[in-house]
Structure 1
Amino acid sequence: MPYDLVLKSGRVIDPSQGIDRITDVAFAGGKVAALGDGLAGAEERDVAGLIVTPGLIDLHTHVYWGGTSLGVDPDAFARKSAVSTCVDTGSAGPGNFPGFRKHVIEQSTVRILVYLHVSFAGIYGFAKNIMIGESHDIRLLAGREAVEVINANRDVIIGVKVRIGRHASGPSGIQPLDVALQVADETGLPLMAHIDEPPPSYEAVVSRLRSGDVLTHCFRPFPNAPIDGKGKVKPEVLAARERGVLFDIGHGMGSFSWKTARAMMAEGFLPDTISSDVHTLCIDGPAYDQVTTLSKFLALGMSMNEVIAASTVNAAKALQRPELGTFKIGAAGDASVLELRQGSFPLEDSRGEIVAASERLFAAGLVIAGQDIGTDRQTFAAAAE
C-alpha cells in the first residue's frame, strides 16, 4: 500500500539519527512512516538535488499577527523560511494570550508553540516610533495569572519568557527575572531570558539561569556581549553551559554580531540553537528569516549537520517535544526542503557589518503533518534545476 506522500531522492539530513544520505522520506497519517529507497506514495515529490530535513523549528519568533505591533504572519513566514514550528517568545502575556490562541494559533497551518510572557500584556509597545519596555513597570508582572494561563494551555505553552536589560526592564533591573523564575519553578517549565544592553550585565542574568533554561541573543554585540575585550568567553558563560543552560541566537533587529560570533566560534563555543527572532522590524533585514540566519552559521564554519541540528533536534530538546525535529518513525510528519546555492551572498549583522558568504540556504518546500504546504511539483522541480 503506497504512503500518502513521498519526498524522493533528496539529501536527507537528520542529525537526531546521524543520517546524511540520498534517500526517500514517506509520510502517512500525518506522521513519518518510512525512510528508504524506492518508496512509493499516492503523491510523490522529486527533490533530487535538494536537502530534506526534519521540519525546521525556529525557537524565537513573534507571530501574534494583528494582536501585537511586532507580530508577523506565521504562515507566510513559515513558507518563506521552510519552518514547520514557530515558537513565539513572549508576544503574549496572560492578559492577551486567549486572543493569540483563538485568532492566530488555532487558525494557522504552521505549528505555533509559546513561551508565555510573565508581563501581563506581553510585548505591547514595540514599534518604530514607540518603544516601551514591558518589564519597566513592576506592576505589570503577573506571576499568579501566568501560572493560571499556563496550566490551562499546556498543549501549546512550553515555557516562560522574560526580557531583561536597559531597554526591556530599565528601572526594574533584574527583578522581573525573579518573578519569571518563580513562575517557571511553579509550573515546572523552562524559562527563556532576553538580554539587551546593561544594566544588568550578561553575566548577572546568565548566572541565575537553570539547566534547560534558554538565554537568547547569546551572540549579541558589545555592550553585554558574552566575550571580554580580549575576545575570550566570560567565565560565567562557560559555567552556565556546564550546568546545562542553553544558548540561543535570537538574531532579531539588534542581537547578532559577526564580531561576537567569530570570537565565540574561535573559542569552540557553538550555539545550542539558531533562531531568527523574526518580527516586523527585522523581517526586511537584518534577520529576514530562518534560512538566512542558518546560512550565517555556515559562513562561520559550522557544518551543515551542525546547523541543521541547531534548528531541529536541539530545538526540540529545548522544547521538551521529542516528536519534533526528527525523522524517527512515528514522529510528527514535518519536513523542510532546502536548496543550497553557491555564489557570493551579502549577509549583514545587526551592526551593519556585511560578510560575503560563498553559499546560502533557500526554502524550497515545506511539509507539515504529512501535508505538502504551499508547494507543487513545478515548485519542487524548479528549485531542483
Structure 2
Amino acid sequence: MPYDLVLKNGRVIDPSLGIDRVTDVAFSAGKVAALGDGLSGLKEKVVTGLIVTPGLIDLHTHVYWGGTSLGVDPDAFARMSAVSTCVDTGSAGPGNFPGFRKHVIERSTARVLVYLHVSFAGIYGFSKNIMIGESHDLRLMAARDAVEVINDNRDVIIGVKVRIGRHASGPSGIQPLDIALQVADETGLPLMAHIDEPPPSYEAVVAKLRKGDVLTHCYRPFPNAPVDGRGKVKEEILAARERGVLFDIGHGMGSFSWKTARAMMAEGFPPDTISSDVHALCIEGPAYDQVTTMSKFLPLGMSLTDIIAASTVNAAKAVQRPELGTFKVGAQGDASVLELRDGAFPLEDVRGEVVVAPQRFFAAGLVIAGRDIGTDAAPLAHAAE
C-alpha cells in the first residue's frame, strides 16, 4: 500500500540518525513511515536539489499573537521559516495562559510548546513605546499559580521561563531566578533563563542553572557577553556546560553579536541550540526568522550537520520530546525543506555589523504531522500526484 505522502529525491540530513544522503522520506497517519529509495505515495513531492530535515524546532519564539504586544502568528511564522514547532518562551504566565492555549495553541497548525513564565502575566509590557520588565516587581512572581497551571497543562508546557537583567528584573536582581528554579524543581521541568545587561552578571546566572536548563541569548554582546575582553570564554560558562547547562542563541532584537559569535566559535564553544527569538520587534530585522538565524552560522564555520542538529534533535532533547527532531520510523511526521543558495547575502547582527555570507538557507517547504503545509516563499517543490 502506498504511503500518504512521500518527499522524493531530496538530500536528507538527519543528525539524529547520522544520515546525509539523497533518498525519500515517507509519511502515513501523521508519522514518519519510512526512509529509503523508490518509495511511492498517494501524494508525492519531488524535492531534487533541496535539503530535507526533520521538522525545524525554533526553541525561542513569542507566538501569543493578539494576547501580548510582542506576539507573532505561529502559522504565518512557520510557513515563512519552515518551522514545524514553535517553542514559546514566557509570553504567557499562569494568569493568562488559558487564553494562550484556547485562542492560539489549540488553533494552530504549527505545533506550539511552552516555557511558562513564572511572572503572573508573562511578558505583558513589551512594545515600541512601552518597556516594562515583568520581573521588576516580586509581587508578580506567581510560584503557586505556575505549579498549578503546569500540572494542568503538561501536554504543552515543557518548562519554566524567567527573564533576568537590568531591563528585565531591575531592582529584583537575581531573585526571580531563585523563585523560578523552585517552580522548576517542584514540577520536575527544565528552566530557560533570559539574560540581558548587568546586573546580575552572566556568570552569576549560569552558576545557578542545572543540567538540562537553558541559558538563552548565549552569544549576546558586551556588556554581559560570555567572553572576556581577550575573547576567552569565562570560567563559569565552561563549568556550566560541563555540568549539562544548555546554551541557546535566542537572537531577537538585542542578543546576537558577530564579535561574540566569532570569539565563541574560535574558542570551540558552539551553541547547543539555534533559535530566532522571533517577536513583533525583530521579525523585520535583525533576527527575521529561524532560517536567517541558522544562516549566520555558515560563515562562522559551523558544519551543515551541526547547524541542522542545533535546530532539530538538540532542541527536541531540550524540550524532552524525543518524538520530534528525527526521522526515526514512528516519530512525528514533520519535515522541513530548505534551499541552500549560493550568492552574496548580507546578514546583520543586533549592533549593526553586517557580514556578507556566501551561502544562505531559504525555506522551501514544510510538512507537519504528515501534511504538506508548503511555505509562504513557495509551494513544496513540485507535485507529482
Question: TM-score under structure 2 normalisation?
Answer: 0.98
- Report the counterpart of residue 32 of structure 1 in structure 2: 32
- Report the counterpart of residue 364 of structure 1 in structure 2: 364
Q: Give the letter aligned to residue 203 of structure 2.
A: E
- Report the counterpart of residue 159 of structure 2 in structure 1: 159
**Per-residue CA shift, 1:220-271, capped at 9, x if unaligned?**
0000000000000000000000000000000000000000000000000000
- Report the counterpart of residue 259 of structure 1 in structure 2: 259
- Report the counterpart of residue 306 of structure 1 in structure 2: 306
Paired with 1:38 and 1:249, the residues of 2 have a C-alpha distance of 38
- Report the counterpart of residue 216 of structure 1 in structure 2: 216
- Report the counterpart of residue 293 of structure 2 in structure 1: 293
- Report the counterpart of residue 250 of structure 1 in structure 2: 250
**Per-residue CA shift, 1:293-332, capped at 9, x if unaligned?**
0000111100100000000000000000000000000000
**Per-residue CA shift, 1:125-166, capped at 9, x if unaligned?**
000110000000000000000000000000000000000000
Paired with 1:237 and 1:328, the residues of 2 have a C-alpha distance of 33
- Report the counterpart of residue 179 of structure 1 in structure 2: 179
SS at match of 2:237: helix
Q: Give the letter aligned to residue 225 of structure 1.
A: A
Q: Give the letter aligned to residue 198 of structure 1.
A: P
Q: Give the letter aligned to residue 38 of structure 1.
A: G
Q: How does 1:126-165 map to 2 (within 5 A)?
A: 126-165=126-165
Shift of 1:382: 6.9
Paired with 2:66 and 2:236, the residues of 1 have a C-alpha distance of 39
Paired with 2:206 and 2:380, the residues of 1 have a C-alpha distance of 43
Paired with 2:20 and 2:382, the residues of 1 have a C-alpha distance of 23
- Report the counterpart of residue 282 of structure 1 in structure 2: 282
Shift of 1:374: 3.4
SS at match of 2:271: coil
- Report the counterpart of residue 203 of structure 1 in structure 2: 203
Paired with 2:198 and 2:178, the residues of 1 have a C-alpha distance of 17
Paired with 2:27 and 2:259, the residues of 1 have a C-alpha distance of 42
Shift of 1:58: 0.1
Paired with 1:284 and 1:33, the residues of 2 have a C-alpha distance of 37
Q: Give the letter aligned to residue 56 of structure 2.
A: L
Paired with 2:333 and 2:261, the residues of 1 have a C-alpha distance of 33
2:121 is the alignment partner of 1:121: yes
Q: Give the letter aligned to residue 181 of structure 1.
A: L
Paired with 1:177 and 1:166, the residues of 2 have a C-alpha distance of 13
Q: How does 1:93-112 map to 2 (within 5 A)?
A: 93-112=93-112
Shift of 1:381: 3.8
Q: Give the letter aligned to residue 368 of structure 2.
A: I
**Per-residue CA shift, 1:11-41, capped at 9, x if unaligned?**
0000001000000000000000000000000
- Is contact 2:141–2:176 with CA below 8 Å preserved after alignment? yes
Paired with 1:349 and 1:289, the residues of 2 have a C-alpha distance of 13
Paired with 2:172 and 2:359, the residues of 1 have a C-alpha distance of 44
Paired with 1:183 and 1:359, the residues of 2 have a C-alpha distance of 43
**Per-residue CA shift, 1:85-142, capped at 9, x if unaligned?**
0000000000000000000000000000000000000000000110000000000000
Paired with 1:381 and 1:100, the residues of 2 have a C-alpha distance of 33
Q: Give the letter aligned to residue 188 of structure 1.
A: G
Q: Give the letter aligned to residue 351 of structure 1.
A: R
- Report the counterpart of residue 52 of structure 2 in structure 1: 52
Paired with 1:88 and 1:316, the residues of 2 have a C-alpha distance of 14
Unmatched runs of 5 consecutive residues or more in structure 1: none
Unmatched runs of 5 consecutive residues or more in structure 2: none
Identity of aligned residues (%): 86
- Is contact 2:143–2:179 with CA below 8 Å preserved after alignment? yes
Q: Give the letter aligned to residue 180 of structure 1.
A: A
Query: Which structure 1 residue ranges, 4+ long, deviate > 3 Å from structure 2?
Result: 380-383
Paired with 1:44 and 1:308, the residues of 2 have a C-alpha distance of 24
Paired with 1:324 and 1:149, the residues of 2 have a C-alpha distance of 24
Paired with 2:380 and 2:309, the residues of 1 have a C-alpha distance of 23
Q: Give the letter aligned to residue 108 of structure 2.
A: S
- Is contact 2:64–2:91 with CA below 8 Å preserved after alignment? yes
SS at match of 1:299: coil
- Is contact 2:46–2:382 with CA below 8 Å preserved after alignment? no
SS at match of 1:91: coil
Paired with 2:196 and 2:327, the residues of 1 have a C-alpha distance of 36
Question: TM-score under structure 1 normalisation?
Answer: 0.98
Q: How does 1:277-356 map to 2 (within 5 A)?
A: 277-356=277-356
Shift of 1:375: 5.5
Paired with 1:374 and 1:359, the residues of 2 have a C-alpha distance of 22
SS at match of 2:297: helix
SS at match of 2:212: coil
Q: How does 1:51-70 map to 2 (within 5 A)?
A: 51-70=51-70
Paired with 1:261 and 1:379, the residues of 2 have a C-alpha distance of 34
**Per-residue CA shift, 1:47-78, capped at 9, x if unaligned?**
00000000000000000000000000000000
Paired with 2:364 and 2:185, the residues of 1 have a C-alpha distance of 41
- Is contact 2:135–2:164 with CA below 8 Å preserved after alignment? yes
SS at match of 1:297: coil
- Is contact 2:251–2:293 with CA below 8 Å preserved after alignment? yes
Q: Give the letter aligned to residue 298 of structure 1.
A: L
Shift of 1:379: 2.7
Q: Give the letter aligned to residue 21 of structure 1.
A: R
User: Per the alignment, do residues 257 and 179 of structure 1 end up closer, same or farther by CA in structure 2, a change over 3 Å counting?
Assistant: same
